[in-house]
């Protein structure tokens, strides 16, 4: 259904590449066994959501929304990294199996 939201001037391969990047990052989050690897995929999800939100970069609302999403997910990602590092230090391992 994504094609119906786009005009003839919009790049469909660009949109689908951003969607594939986002889906790959989400799959990486689900399949990661290490909390640091999980965090890397989390940040990749944040970056790809920024790209998706700013797809229509010529609109000021898209640019503003993308900056806001990047700021919120970036701050959340840093908090997540701090928590994961703290938990990994307490447990003695960064593997989710442990």
**pLDDT tens sequence across 34-76:** 999 999 999 999 999 999 998 888 888 989 999 999 999 999 9
Question: Percent of the chain scored above 90 by pLDDT?
Answer: 69
Stretch 80-85: mean pLDDT, rounded? Answer: 96
For residue 42 the two structure tokens come to 């989390």
Mean pLDDT of the chain: 91
Q: 95 - beta bridge partners?
A: 34
Where residue 25 falls among pLDDT bands split at 50, 70, 90?
very high
Report the 3 state secondary structure along 7-55.
CCCCCHHHHHHHHHHHHHHHHHHHHCCEHHHHHHHHHHHHHHHHHHHCC
Q: Flag whether the pTM goes above 0.75.
A: yes
Mutual orientation of helices 35-53 and 60-91 as an angle, nearest 10°? Answer: 180
Residue pair 93/59 in contact by the 8 Å Cβ criterion: no
């Amino acid at each position: 259904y994504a094609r119906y939201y786009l005009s003839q001037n919009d790049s469909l391969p660009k949109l689908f590449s951003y969607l594939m990047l986002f889906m790959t990052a989400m799959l990486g989050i689900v399949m990661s066994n290490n909390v640091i690897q999980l965090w890397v995929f989390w940040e990749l999800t944040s970056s790809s959501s920024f790209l998706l939100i700013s797809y229509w970069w010529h609109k000021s609302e898209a640019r503003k929304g993308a900056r806001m999403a990047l700021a919120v997910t970036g701050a959340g990602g840093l908090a997540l990294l701090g928590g994961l590092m703290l938990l990994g230090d307490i447990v003695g391992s960064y593997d989710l199996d442990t």
